[in-house]
Amino acid sequence: MKRMNNRGQQMTLGTIIAIVLGIAVLVFLIFGFSSGWNNLWSKITELGGGSANVDDVARGCEVACAQNSKNAYCDKVRTVNYVDGKEEKGSCKDFEVSGQGPSVDVCSIDCGIRTSTFVPDKSAQKEVDAAQKEVDDAGTSVTEA
């Protein structure tokens, strides 16, 4: 006569996966409702460098440096949106070197020789262009005299 194993029923792999996914969705919903959905969305988009604020881009750069991701740190162009509507674009390395934009700590990633992708906000660029034109005009009037 066979002996029956009556210790209990085993859970299938599908059931375990469903439980884990259910817990993950529950944590996501709790975090979203407790901190606000906009705050949650900024946390999700910060690593991609999308429409984010200064602190989010700085954290994204820190993560890229910590993961030693040369492409994400040196080449990926990130957009920094300020409260006053200004925006700057550049890679993490550009922000590190220029000292403008988000405060990015010096990273050990060697980006090699490359051209800067840093683009300051448009109003600041217009001021720089106007100042350069004044200098050029003053230089030509001195040489003509």
Cβ–Cβ < 8 Å for 31, 39: no
Tokens, residue 2:
């066979």
**Residue 91 burial by CB count (10 A; 0-12/13-18/19+): exposed, middle or buried?**
buried
Segment of 11-20, 122-131, 136-145 carrying the highest mean pLDDT: 11-20
SS3 category, 119 = strand
User: pLDDT digit string (tens) for 33-68?
Assistant: 887 777 776 666 655 554 447 777 888 888 888 898
CB 73 within 8 A of CB 107: yes
Residue with tokens 């996501």: 28
Task: Report which of 91, 65, 63, 93 is spatially closest to residue 79, judged by C-alpha positions.
Answer: 91
Q: Which two tokens stand for residue 107?
A: 């990273």
Per-residue pLDDT, 143: 47
Would you state the pLDDT for residue 22?
96
Write phi, then psi, for 50 (nearest 5 degrees).
Answer: -75, -150
Query: Which amino acid, residue 53?
Result: N
